[in-house]
Structure 1
């Protein structure tokens, strides 16, 4: 389990001011306790899967500033494709959650899957435990983890968004999330005589890792800085040798390189 906490959430998104800062702080504080266990419970449990999930929900929630779309929902009134067949369904079942749940039909189907009465209590989707469950249920239903494992931002974004809206923002969040999550994942590796290296680390040990990867045919610059290129080469090597492609150089990886 990748132990995402409030400090990671705060470091992921830009700070706000005024009312936005108040709302942002409340959302991150509410997410902090349940986020790690909820993600793990839905197999969003590797550095890549967690990074992609956090990047997408950070963008979709406007940097953790809202769990409810800013419009009033009247545009959804009468939308039979969303199951909005009763007067007031548009505003009542407007987009809510980290990945916005929209329309009576979707509230009903997701609620049924989770064993929650989201139709009777649509505002409950704004509760941290509930909106994490809703987002994870969406994630697993669309089998997004497989695209996270391939580190395919385009495929993940299309499934979340239906297109590629906000791709630049999602990429920026993803890059930041990978850097924040790498040391969390590395900290779970038992101590040994081998150095544990990950995205963002620097020094002679990183240069040695790069040299070893180059010896295996990877065109990695030997600059002592563990960046995206080194991480990509390392993941490929790990996959090729039957190791978990977590992008972290630990004892098992060093032995495989040797």
Structure 2
């Protein structure tokens, strides 16, 4: 017997004692979530780029009852608009002074007021998110620590603490987990659940969902187009 035969026999014996668990099989509409569906919702990404997202989305949908055609389509299409389903996405706070006067007019009414925060993401986050969403004052550093991350851009101490509690983690563990693909999707589904977005998806309400997620209707046309395509694809797949 060659050394390769020995290794193969040992590996086979190990697999019998410690079998690799099979990937879960999902029924119903969650079982229709595949790379082709994600490509419909997010055509700017390739199938190879989207493939790692399938199982995390299925698990998150199962956990938080995102389990009808409208709910699944709404959840996926909103994430696709917010992040283009790019792994490890964090909020971009690298603004020029002029752009700051456009995005946060009330906080930076002049170029001179904006200049100290221009191209300084940490300082900017601590300024614009201070005293909001459970964050402490600017000096606390909470704005930067709890800046937006994940495909739904979970933001603020209150949200990150709530997500940590739901996952049975410390806040620091949740902040790290939420920046992984798996954790980012789970954080998006947690946010979806606590903000009653399943109900809004049922009503129907792409506009209402968008207001809850975004605080306004930014990108509504794109969100709606992604949603309609995803619904059609799910129905065509027999969901």
> 2:226 matched to 1:173?
yes
Instruction: Indicate the SS of the match to 2:132.
Output: helix
2:209, 2:176 → 1: CA distance?
A: 27
For 1:116-135, what per-residue CA distance to the aligned partner results, in whole angstroms no more than 9, with x for missing partners? 23335523212122112211
Could you tell me whether the CA contact under 8 Å between 1:118 and 1:125 is conserved in 2?
no
For 1:56-111, what per-residue CA distance to the aligned partner results, in whole angstroms no more than 9, with x for missing partners? 111111x2235212223532215122314565433332110111111233212221
2:61, 2:82 → 1: CA distance?
A: 17
| Structure 1 residues 53 and 73: CA distance shift in structure 2, 3 A | farther
Could you tell me whether the CA contact under 8 Å between 1:52 and 1:148 is conserved in 2?
yes
Equivalent residue number for residue 168 of structure 2? 115
> What count of residue pairs does the alignment treat as equivalent?
178
The Cα shift of 1:146 comes to: 1.4
For 1:176-197, what per-residue CA distance to the aligned partner results, in whole angstroms no more than 9, with x for missing partners? 111221133x16xxxxxxxxxx
Equivalent residue number for residue 95 of structure 1? 148
Equivalent residue number for residue 60 of structure 1? 82
Instruction: Indicate the SS of the match to 2:178.
Output: helix
Equivalent residue number for residue 124 of structure 2? 75
Could you tell me whether the CA contact under 8 Å between 1:56 and 1:170 is conserved in 2?
yes
Within the candidate set 53, 64, 67, 1:45 is matched to 67
- Residues 11-26 of structure 1: pairs in structure 2 closer than 5 A: 11-15=40-44, 26=49
Could you tell me whether the CA contact under 8 Å between 2:41 and 2:227 is conserved in 1?
no
| Structure 1 residues 133 and 120: CA distance shift in structure 2, 3 A | closer
Using the TM superposition, name which of 35-44 and 119-128 deviates more: 119-128
| Structure 1 residues 31 and 130: CA distance shift in structure 2, 3 A | same
Could you tell me whether the CA contact under 8 Å between 1:73 and 1:94 is conserved in 2?
no
Q: Which has the higher helix share?
A: 2
Give the gaps of 5 or more residues in structure 2: 1-27, 94-120
The Cα shift of 1:30 comes to: 2.8
For 1:211-252, what per-residue CA distance to the aligned partner results, in whole angstroms no more than 9, with x for missing partners? xxxxxxxxxxxxxxxxxxxxxxxxxxxxxxxxxxxxxxxxxx
1:74, 1:32 → 2: CA distance?
A: 36
1:50, 1:120 → 2: CA distance?
A: 27
Give the gaps of 5 or more residues in structure 1: 188-258
2:43, 2:72 → 1: CA distance?
A: 19
Instruction: Indicate the SS of the match to 2:192.
Output: helix
Equivalent residue number for residue 199 of structure 1? none
CA root-mean-square deviation: 2.3
Instruction: Indicate the SS of the match to 2:171.
Output: coil
